[in-house]
Amino acid sequence: MEKILDLKHISIEKQHCFGGAWYYKVMSKPYDFNGIEGVITLPMPLINRFKDNIEPNLPIDFNHKNLDVSSIYMGGHAKYESDVGLALSRANLDGNVTEGSCVYRPFWRYITDGFDDAGTYDLKNNRNYSASILNNKDGIKNVYAHYHPSFSEFYYLPGDKLLMRLTSPKPNYLVLEIKVLEVSKLEYSINFRKKYNLKQPQDFKSPQMSSPGHGVKGIKTYKRVNAIDQVSNEGKEAILTKTVIKDAIWNSCHLLYKEDGKQYKTPFNEDISVQMACPLENAFITTAIDEKTGGQKITISPIRG
């Protein structure tokens, strides 16, 4: 059920830009939210930065190691931060894993001082994902996980229209759900799926991830992000690139909350958020956020900066 949540009385300052990526973030004002959902039509990534300065021969040239990565994700912050969504990743095509990235695949990254499910793939026992602890500082663990590349039903391509939802299945946990609303009609994606005999895209649900403070009463913030992440460049100055991520369309985006025991959603619009375009605003071509739906179209083109 939709009901407008009035948070105009709450002010929020923009965060400092974090180095090493080109990203557009819409971050909520703090409130006792319990989730976020958005309908996204995936963009066309035109990757133009590769290892050894190789010039690409294709819009997405997966024969070479790309150094720019298109990612589209949501996140929640209670005690710690979590980022979950899709990243342009390697694929298993014709029995071989590609050198470079070419399909959007689910990932989830969470920070916790509690349970972590770190471990490698175990396909025989239906553990179809790998989770690695990126760092552990005094028991506070930064965990990154992604699904095994063998499952082409979880390969998503430009033009696919998806519902992404991040909610709490139980106290102190989060889960990512992806629902396929419309399979891409773009010629590129139709031909790609046919050429490599990929399965039709299916709905996806991540394992439950530890995220203290979610699923219980308390102040939280949520976000949606469109980014060009840059390999081995986190925290450094973003590298100027000719890569373009063209026409990511948030058809809608809502924040979820409860009132008097009932579940509601409110548009994730400018009244309830702050926007960040990092590190340069004119590297992004965006429409205004729709007041009623929270929708927006975003193109990332750093060379404009």
Would you state the pLDDT for residue 235? 82
Q: Coil, strand or helix: which one is 131?
A: strand
Q: Coil, strand or helix: which one is 138?
A: coil
- In angstroms, the CA 239 to CA 243 distance is 11
The answer to whether residues 220 and 78 touch, using CB atoms and an 8 Å cutoff, is: yes
Domain tally for the chain?
A: 1
Residue 85 within a domain? no
Would you state the pLDDT for residue 8? 80
Would you state the pLDDT for residue 19? 87
User: What is the DSSP-derived secondary structure letter of residue 212?
Assistant: T
Residue 168 within a domain? yes
Residue 47 within a domain? yes
Residue 94 within a domain? no
Residue 67 within a domain? yes
Would you state the pLDDT for residue 304? 66
Residue 246 within a domain? yes
* DSSP state letters, 54-115: PPPSSTT-TTS-BSEEEEEEEEEESSSEEEEEEEEE--EETTEE-SS--EEEEEEEEEESS-
Q: Which domain CATH number covers 267?
A: 2.60.120
Task: Tell me which residue range forms the domain holding 189.
Answer: 21-79+158-304
Q: How far is CA 123 from CA 21, 127, 194, 209, 255, in A?
A: 33, 5, 26, 19, 35
- Each residue's pLDDT expressed in tens, for the chain with a length of 305 residues: 888 898 888 888 777 888 889 999 999 999 999 999 999 999 999 999 999 888 888 888 999 999 999 999 999 999 999 999 999 999 999 999 999 999 999 999 999 999 999 999 999 999 999 999 999 999 999 999 999 999 999 999 999 999 999 999 999 999 999 999 999 999 999 999 999 999 999 999 999 999 999 999 999 999 999 999 999 888 899 999 999 999 999 999 999 999 988 999 999 999 999 999 999 999 999 999 999 999 999 999 998 65
Residue 51 within a domain? yes
Contacts of 187 (CB under 8 A, 6+ apart): none
Would you state the pLDDT for residue 6? 83
The answer to whether residues 276 and 27 touch, using CB atoms and an 8 Å cutoff, is: yes
- In angstroms, the CA 158 to CA 148 distance is 20
Residue 48 within a domain? yes
Record the pTM: 0.95
